[in-house]
A and B are shown apart, each in its own frame.
Chain A
Amino acid sequence: MIRALFFKEWLKIKWAFISMAGLILLILIKIGLNLSYYIRILEAKTYWYQVIIMGGIFFREFTYIPVLVGLVIGFSQFMPEINADRLKLTLHLPLKENAILLYMVLYGTAALLALFLGTYILLSLIVISFFPFEVVKAMWVTMAPWMLAGFVTYWVTSMTFVERIWLKRGLIIVLGVLFIQTLLNNYAFEIYKNSLIYFFILSLLWSIGILYTGYRFKKGVMK
């Protein structure tokens, strides 16, 4: 049954997933090309200076990409459910409603994880060919909060779709945006080194928000 649920989710997000993977790939290619360009034109030692000593982040594009991915996957997964109240069909399936909602979110989260891990792996391969390993490690720590922001965006999007009342949706969105902003600083390498664990725990709190709005959906809260 769970496999069938996942199948449904895949059908919904298939194109969003593929297009986001494509987008990420294109950006990775761009970064790779830029790196090789600067290393050639500026001379490696000068470009190393700019990155390692001056702290120039050469993958800044990825600050907002996870947020975009979270939004797109969230939209593609939940828009069809809310459209014409299809969620009623989904929740009518012979499983506990909370379990259904959580499986849906789990699937989307897994899709994001796949995309983000893929990004990490591929970007690491690109970076290690031009820079020492310390730069790769710094890149991991620097990008982690942005990836976290991507997950939060997805969780906020999913719970917002299920909420029916526009005022409440607006409040959730405002809250979500303010929270996500705290994760998106990109002025230097590894600035979240000390606080990443706390941000991680706080971000996780968003993951079951859909149970709250889902319950309100079931109750038929209209006002």
Chain B
Amino acid sequence: MENVVECVNLTHYYGKRLIYENLNFVIRKGSIFGLLGKNGTGKTTTINILNGYLKPKAGHCYIFGEDSQNLSPQTKARIGFLMEGHIQYNFMTITQIEKFYSAFYPRWKKEAYYELMEKLEVDPEQKIATMSCGQRSQVALGLILAQDPDLMVLDDYSMGLDAGYRRLFLDYLGAYAKDNNKTIFITSHIIQDLENFVEDIVILDYRSVLLSTTVKDFKENFKQFTMKIPEGSKISLQKDDVIRNFEILKDRLTVYSFKSRQEVENHLKALNIPYRDLKQVPMSLEDAFIGLTGKY
């Protein structure tokens, strides 16, 4: 199976501030790839590098085999790009914008666009600038579906949208991708929506790449254990290779780990932690994400 996107040793700084070093990932054809991370961890940076709007300090990204800094027009036609905030040409009406884009993409599917537009119930001569956030996201979605690209790059599709529109967006996108074996690259900081949507993920944290895996593996291997400890006791606990992250709230200690339950218990005993009632708690993707990256 070919790799649609291949990023090798991406490193970038903003001035002296390191964003990340040696980010490596691969997006296989037909997969749905999510780049997760809190705000400021480099998601938009990565999108910009992918689209050729940022030259990384080191490393390369290859899309359909071409260096992302120098994409040929033919390759650009195969990539659908959604900008954060569903930015489009606000000065156009929905008819004008469809007419505009259709001239550029040979595979343009007008019906895909107008199908969505009908649901919108807007005047065809209405300027996009006067539409609400949700309506604009529909327009952006319609345009990207009509383009019929092989790869879709979506930078935070969720910005400014309420739950209904967010769900609609993902439903359409998911159905479309599955039907046609399309590849999707998506970033977001709203994790809960993505749980049933993305397959592969990379999790970014400040200045580092935390994890590169599949959602399935992540949820299977990353565990949350809760237990009781004496309230107010001074426990010295640190993050190590067993305890990936932990939290103490009153008399409850929560430990996150990739290790098995037995290993975790052994580790706690070795550290002389006076715990009791240890339980493993199943996590959603969002829980796991917060567990890994912390609440701050």
Contacts and interface: CB of A to CB of B under 8 A. Distances in A.
Interface stretch (B25-33, B50-58, B164-172, B247-255): B50-58
Interface string A190-223: 0000000000000000000000000001111011
B103 A92 contact: no
B100 interface: yes
Interface residues of A, number: 25
A80 B53 contact: no
Contacts of A168: none
Contact of A94 (B73, B85, B88): B73
A45 interface: no
Contacts of B289: none
Interface residues of B, number: 29
B96 A11 contact: yes
A92 B51 contact: yes
B36 to A, nearest CB: 22
A88 B51 CA distance: 9
Interface in B95-139: 96, 99-101, 103-105
Contacts of A80: 89-91
A60 interface: no
Contacts of A86: 87-89
A219 B89 contact: no
B224 to A, nearest CB: 39
A96 B89 contact: no
A56 to B, nearest CB: 44
A93 B83 CA distance: 13
Interface in A32-91: 80, 84-86, 88-89, 91
A218 B89 contact: no
A219 B103 CA distance: 27
B15 A92 contact: no
A103 to B, nearest CB: 13
A91 B68 CA distance: 13
A187 B96 CA distance: 48
Contact of B55 (A8, A88, A219): A219
B9 to A, nearest CB: 18
Given A8-B100, A218-B52, A94 B77 contact: yes
A84 B85 CA distance: 9
A220 B48 contact: yes
A113 interface: no
A95 interface: yes
B89 A89 contact: yes
A153 to B, nearest CB: 23
Contacts of B83: 84-85, 88-89
Interface centre among A88, A95, A219, A222 (most CB of B within 10 A): A88
B296 interface: no
B31 to A, nearest CB: 22
A94 B73 CA distance: 4
Nearest to B81: A92
B81 A89 contact: yes
Contacts of A89: 81, 83, 87-89
B103 A1 contact: yes
10 contacts: A4-B100, A84-B85, A84-B87, A85-B83, A86-B87, A92-B81, A93-B104, A94-B73, A94-B105, A220-B54
Given A80-B89, A89-B88, 11 more contacts: A4-B104, A8-B100, A11-B91, A11-B92, A12-B91, A88-B51, A92-B79, A93-B76, A94-B73, A94-B74, A95-B73
Interface of B: 14-15, 48, 51-55, 73-74, 76-77, 79, 81, 83, 85, 87-92, 96, 99-101, 103-105
Which 10 interchain pairs have the tightest Cβ spacing? A220-B54, A4-B103, A94-B77, A94-B73, A94-B76, A219-B55, A84-B87, A92-B81, A4-B100, A95-B73
